[in-house]
Structure 1
């Protein structure tokens, strides 16, 4: 009888084959997992939470500081309700009954406030529950009579502000405007 030799794979070649299979499987798994798209999961609401901002204007005055007969300075003092969020006042504008802003002619800028500037939210911080938040706004260029308000003219003033809201799992900034009733100068 003839003896048969066992033809087995040598241990070295077997080890190399196993390593090759493990590497090939790893590459396949990496490619497969790399092509899976995981959707972004948002927790909570998809639209930002809108809050009611209750501004109560307790004092308003418009004056002529350069004695040329035209009003050039506006002082607004208001309270912010406790249920309102903290707001960040960006600007106070004058809106003409025609729908145009006086800022389009000559800017009116905030020259004084008892609120501190918050550069993160680009506005003057008015905390909820604040009393007597005061802003003085003046015509930017008093050397000309352009952009000042003559007696007998009507206008609205606008308080432009932001507040922080929650959208899903992120904070977002909401912009809004408070508009006064129609004011007639004397």
Structure 2
């Protein structure tokens, strides 16, 4: 069954997010999104009056929501160490499944200069902040001081994103696995040293 015409907007946003992961922001053009999504050309400015910048901004939001949902699902498991382990494993699976082609679309936007759309960097920053807040809240619920939880959350997101970049360049999961192992041990030590025991309600 062919997709309904009304699906073209959703398909374009999803295609933009997938192209950002593999090719970066600079190479994610309207033409490339149309070819990838199969959406009709006339739908571009009907659905995205702001043009390419609006399309990429919505793709960033979609990708941010997707990862945030995975973080939220992991944190509901109740064990912060297992939650972070699962986050690293998610990225390992994505790298292997894509033959090391798929990175993070948020990083793709954050690292490129977008003089014509400076709000894209702010959108990427907001996504990173959302991910960090979710992890920090988990750590605080398990007895870590607020500032320690925030620092650990920022460190974990930075370690994941940096190691994913290294893995793509090296075509190996070694950097990600090393970061995961070190952070696993760090979290166990931090939670054992917390001033309070047991999760907070």
TM bucket (normalised to shorter chain) is: under 0.3
Structure with the largest fraction of helix:
2
TM-score w.r.t. the length of structure 1 is: 0.22
TM-score, scaled to structure 2:
0.21
Q: Hey, which of these two has a bigger chunk of strand by percent? A: 1
Structure (1 or 2) with the larger CA radius of gyration: 1
